[in-house]
């Protein structure tokens, strides 16, 4: 059995969106400069860009991620977490991007503020992996049923305010469901930020 090479960028600064995109595509596709250009194109002629951190260290919003995905002929759909993930057509999905709350820390001191963190999850070979850039290495999640359980756990904590986006190639979700879901479930494409 051949050993799988798994591309995994680790967290630097506030570039989790950048790492999530590159980990999702399993190669170094995007650089910070490209995501900064997307921010500028989304909101030209503004002094403070609403799509990234005030200091320009990253912390990109969903608009930047969706635009970056569109440049690679992909699109993201917001998953209604009131639904069960078992309705997701896993064969139509490139992968998942999760947005989860994260604590602000200065050294060992946790501040009473929360920021958002982007995580990629995708199938590589026959198994799914959590490609969170804060992990030392990719985390094996397992088979289809294992990834669905992982997603249930991520979305099940109401106070956690986790959000899930399904990523597909543009032409893969044009069948009867049109949105990578079985007909009994519905998701909405989002254009807002989190």
Which of the residues 16, 39, 173, 180 is marked catalytic?
16
pLDDT (tens digit per residue) in 73-123:
999 999 998 899 999 999 999 999 999 877 666 667 766 566 689 999 999
Spatial strand order in the sheet of 95-106: 74-79, 163-169, 95-106, 109-124, 127-130, 139-142
β pairing state of 139-142 and 127-130: antiparallel
185 is catalytic: no
Tell me how crowded residue 80 is: count the other CB atoms within 10 A of its CB: 14
Element at 44 (helix H, strand E): none
Average pLDDT on 17-40 reads: 92
28 is catalytic: no
Which of the residues 8, 19, 117, 185 is marked catalytic?
117
Element at 177 (helix H, strand E): none
Cα 93 to Cα 167: distance, rounded to the nearest angstrom: 6
pLDDT (tens digit per residue) in 152-178:
988 886 666 888 999 999 875 544 334
């Amino acid at each position: 059995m051949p050993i799988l090479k798994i591309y995994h960028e680790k967290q630097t600064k506030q570039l989790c969106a950048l790492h999530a995109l590159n980990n999702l595509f399993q190669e170094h596709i995007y650089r910070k400069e490209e995501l900064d250009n997307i921010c500028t194109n989304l909101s030209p002629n503004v002094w403070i860009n609403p799509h990234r951190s005030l200091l320009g260290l990253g912390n990109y919003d969903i608009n930047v991620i969706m635009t970056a995905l569109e440049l690679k002929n992909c699109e993201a759909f917001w998953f209604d977490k009131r639904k069960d993930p078992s309705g997701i057509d896993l064969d139509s999905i490139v992968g998942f991007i999760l947005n989860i709350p994260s604590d602000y820390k200065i050294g060992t001191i946790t501040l009473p503020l929360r920021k958002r963190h982007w995580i990629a999850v995708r199938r590589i070979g026959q198994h799914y992996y959590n490609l969170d850039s804060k992990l030392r290495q990719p985390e094996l999640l397992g088979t289809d049923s294992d990834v669905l359980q992982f997603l249930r756990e991520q979305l099940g904590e109401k106070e956690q305010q986790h959000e899930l986006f399904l990523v597909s190639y543009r032409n893969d979700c044009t069948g009867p469901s049109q949105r990578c879901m079985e007909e009994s479930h519905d998701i909405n494409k989002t254009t807002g930020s989190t």
